[in-house]
Chains A and B, each alone.
Chain A
Amino acid sequence: MSWGLDGVTVRLGGRKALDGVTVVVEPSSVAVLVGGDGSGKSTCLRAMVGLVRPSAGTVRRPPKQEVGYIPATAGLYPDLTVDENVSFAAGAFGLTGRALATRSGELLERIGLGDARHRLGGQLSGGMQRKLAVVMALLHRPTLLVLDEPTTGVDPVSRAEVWRLISGAAAGGAAVVVSTTYVDEGRRASSVTLLESGGVIGSGSPADIVAAVPGTVGVVRSAARPPGPAWRWGSAWRVWAPTGALPDGAEPRPPEFEDAVVIAALAAEAGP
């Protein structure tokens, strides 16, 4: 049984926050939503967990007690200790006593919060707060785990620890959906959805998204901007020739995932 959104439109204050968005989240896999601030990532996830009501389309999700969710901000109680946060979240899902002690002890150790159990949530660093929020969302082994930007502003070491938790949830059978503004996190997904202004501008496995790039991508090693669609990559330019003919001086190269994401946005901007 897969979960997700099917052709979902959400109106917020007369504006279409989402326009016919489809996202499929399969068990034992990770779906990643990639987009900037205001692209609709949070609205997608809020629709998925039932916090906003779509005006069109359908949402498939398991019963509420089988869902784990963290919003883009907070997701924990700053005035409670780490242990109190964990027991409160677990209690809401009926997890108590020895089962809770074992599971929370194991998860907190794994993310390096074992020694911080008596510190207040609000006193933890940003990275530690996000890790704690993720632990609180997956304590009860949810069938569907929904994480809104769990790694934004988190340093790479903590990010790897968050992704270790996410990987473990998927390996344990959960359907996981994660939103991010970091394009490279899309490479970790089984399926990626690229969002822009509330619409989907690309979807599929990372390999599918690369394979869907029309035309040719090339590199131009000069400071001068080459003609046609081009963007900087390091000290060089990347160019995209939708019909296949690269400008003079460009050497063709197979597109990477990051190229494919920029090209999807360029194509969407140019219109149909």
Chain B
Amino acid sequence: MRFGDFTAVDAVDLALEAREVVGLLGANGAGKTTLIRLLLGLVRPTAGDVELFGAPPSVETRRRVGYVPQTLGLYEDLTVAENWAFVTVAFGSGRPPLPAGIVDLGDAVVGSLPLGIQRRVAFAAAFSHRPELLILDEPTSGVAPLGRARLWQDVRETAEGGAGVLVTTHNMEEAEQCDRLVVLVDGAVAAAGGVAEVIGDRTVIEVGGPQWRLAYEVLDAQGLSVQLHGDTLRVPGSAAQIEDLLAPSGLDVTVGEAPANLEEAFVEVVSARSARRDGTAVRP
């Protein structure tokens, strides 16, 4: 998929099965939105195929897709009932009653509702025509933890009802709830699989002890991305390398190895890819 001379999405293989929740991760500009546009049939690929339910995306396939954009896509000046009526008519799903979760909110103007509630309305509208593919862009941005858990309950129920769900997110907690992850870097798939597969056997080095602040200065001066967790530092690299860097200063610190978390693994995947593209080496 190219825009002008810029290759936005390059030879991406992405298959989505029914009943499956797939998380699409990537830095800004990695191609997530272009992929969504391809699936919605809003742009066409320069090479390769996009196939939805066995055909190229079209108005017909669009009727079988549910989409919640990050901005929700609701009419803020209309009531919940008016939004619901508009969407259900547009999708030709008759005049179903408001679903249980929002039935009491019919007369409320959408723009006057808290964001978490607006999200529930947007979800209900996107689910209203029983889509076979559900596309959610940053679905729980700004939602409190309990509200997020409830929205995920709806997502899971939709998947268990037979739909495939594609979620884009910057939220690692949300990514960990997906059955499978696809990590996009510069428009190409850089890693894919379950959370454990994406993390693999990657590790980080933990540095702790009373002189962690001085250890931070030493490691930071080496250009390492040192991250503070409580009063422990987490830094990429090997234990031997970090010990060597810290040894000359004779600091009272402990150095140990710990499994990387998803965010750390993601950052490593992206840096490795970017380094290959730029032909430059990054420090591990």
- Whole-angstrom CA separation of A189 from B30 in the bound complex: 29
Q: What string of 1s and 0s marks CB contacts (under 8 Å) between B166-193 and chain A?
A: 0000111100111100000000000000
Q: Judge if A188 is at the interface, Cβ distance under 8 Å.
A: yes
Number of contact residues on A: which range applies? Answer: 35 or more
Q: Judge if B160 is at the interface, Cβ distance under 8 Å.
A: yes
Instruction: Give the residues in chain B near A171, CB-CB below 8 Å.
Output: 212-213, 216-217, 220, 226, 228
Pairwise interchain contact B156-A235, C-beta atoms closer than 8 A: yes
Beta-carbon contacts under 8 Å, A205-263 to B: 205-206, 223, 231-235, 258, 261-262
Query: A126-B28, A167-B227 are known contacts. Are A157 and B145 too (CB-CB below 8 A)?
Result: no
Measured between C-beta atoms, what is the minimum distance from A267 to chain B in Å? 10
Pairwise interchain contact A36-B142, C-beta atoms closer than 8 A: yes
Candidates B26, B227, B231, B261; contact of A155 at CB < 8 Å = B26
Measured between C-beta atoms, what is the minimum distance from A140 to chain B in Å? 19
Tell me the nearest residue of chain B to A194, going by C-beta.
Answer: B145
- Whole-angstrom CA separation of A35 from B229 in the bound complex: 19
Pairwise interchain contact B227-A163, C-beta atoms closer than 8 A: yes
Instruction: Give the residues in chain B near A34, CB-CB below 8 Å.
Output: 145
Pairwise interchain contact B228-A188, C-beta atoms closer than 8 A: yes
Q: Is the interface of A mostly helix, strand, loop or mixed?
A: mixed
Pairwise interchain contact A35-B144, C-beta atoms closer than 8 A: yes
- Whole-angstrom CA separation of A66 from B203 in the bound complex: 38
Beta-carbon contacts under 8 Å, B141-163 to A: 141-150, 152-153, 156, 160
Tell me the nearest residue of chain A to B153, going by C-beta.
Answer: A232
Instruction: Give the residues in chain A near B229, CB-CB below 8 Å.
Output: 187-188
Pairwise interchain contact A183-B156, C-beta atoms closer than 8 A: no
Instruction: Give the residues in chain B near A30, CB-CB below 8 Å.
Output: 228
Q: Judge if B27 is at the interface, Cβ distance under 8 Å.
A: yes
Candidates B141, B220, B233, B267; contact of A156 at CB < 8 Å = B267
Q: Judge if B45 is at the interface, Cβ distance under 8 Å.
A: no
Pairwise interchain contact B213-A152, C-beta atoms closer than 8 A: no
Pairwise interchain contact B116-A161, C-beta atoms closer than 8 A: no
Measured between C-beta atoms, what is the minimum distance from B213 to chain A in Å? 5
- Whole-angstrom CA separation of A22 from B230 in the bound complex: 19
Q: Judge if A79 is at the interface, Cβ distance under 8 Å.
A: no
Pairwise interchain contact B172-A262, C-beta atoms closer than 8 A: no
Candidates A160, A232, A262; contact of B156 at CB < 8 Å = A232
Pairwise interchain contact A29-B173, C-beta atoms closer than 8 A: no
Query: A36-B143, A152-B142 are known contacts. Are A184 and B170 too (CB-CB below 8 A)?
Result: no
Pairwise interchain contact B156-A155, C-beta atoms closer than 8 A: no
Pairwise interchain contact B170-A154, C-beta atoms closer than 8 A: yes
Tell me the nearest residue of chain B to A233, going by C-beta.
Answer: B177
Pairwise interchain contact B173-A168, C-beta atoms closer than 8 A: no
- Whole-angstrom CA separation of A37 from B114 in the bound complex: 8
Q: What string of 1s and 0s marks CB contacts (under 8 Å) between B215-227 and chain A?
A: 0110010000111
Beta-carbon contacts under 8 Å, A138-186 to B: 152-161, 163-164, 166-168, 170-173, 181-184
Instruction: Give the residues in chain A near B26, CB-CB below 8 Å.
Output: 155
Measured between C-beta atoms, what is the minimum distance from B119 to chain A in Å? 10
Tell me the nearest residue of chain A to B174, going by C-beta.
Answer: A182
Pairwise interchain contact A159-B170, C-beta atoms closer than 8 A: yes
Residue ranges of A at the interface with B (Cβ–Cβ < 8 Å): 28-30, 34-39, 125-127, 152-161, 163-164, 166-168, 170-173, 181-184, 187-190, 196, 205-206, 223, 231-235, 258, 261-262, 265-266, 269
A sample of 25 cross-chain residue pairs with beta-carbon separation below 8 angstroms, ordered by A number, consists of A28-B213, A36-B142, A37-B144, A38-B116, A153-B170, A155-B30, A156-B25, A156-B267, A156-B270, A159-B263, A160-B264, A171-B213, A182-B171, A182-B172, A205-B230, A223-B160, A231-B150, A232-B152, A232-B177, A234-B177, A234-B178, A234-B179, A235-B179, A262-B146, A265-B145
* 4 nearest CB pairs, A to B: A36-B144, A171-B216, A167-B228, A265-B146
